[in-house]
């Protein structure tokens, strides 16, 4: 049982690392919200920081999904 916990836990950690890399920084979502030179934009300041992006996505997406009692509600997203 410990090995299953470790496998699942580190899978989630690696997913958050990938999400942080894809959505933050100069090549992430902040770049898509910006046109030309707008470093003073609030959205760039929020989504430019990796910790903030991971925290927002964890609170708004991953936490509610992990609180589901069963996965029946997600049946429409699977093929």
* C-alpha span between 36 and 46 (Å, rounded): 17
Percentage of residues of the chain with pLDDT beyond 90:
0
Q: Which residues, at least 6 apart from 40, have a Cβ–Cβ distance to it below 8 Å?
A: none
- The pTM (predicted TM-score) of the whole model is 0.62
The per-residue pLDDT for range 11-46, each reduced to its tens digit, is 888 888 888 877 776 666 655 556 666 666 666 677
Phi-psi region of 25 (alpha: psi -120 to 50; beta: other; left: phi over 0): left
The confidence band for 58, taking pLDDT boundaries of 50, 70 and 90, is confident
Report the C-alpha gap between 49 and 37 in whole angstroms: 17
């Amino acid at each position: 049982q410990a090995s299953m916990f470790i496998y699942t836990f580190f899978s989630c950690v690696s997913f958050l690392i990938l999400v942080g890399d894809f959505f933050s920084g100069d090549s992430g979502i902040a770049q898509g919200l910006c046109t030309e030179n707008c470093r003073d934009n609030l959205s760039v300041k929020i989504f430019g920081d990796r910790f903030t992006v991971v925290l927002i996505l964890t609170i708004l997406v991953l936490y509610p999904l992990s609180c589901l009692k069963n996965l029946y509600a997600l049946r429409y997203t699977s093929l």
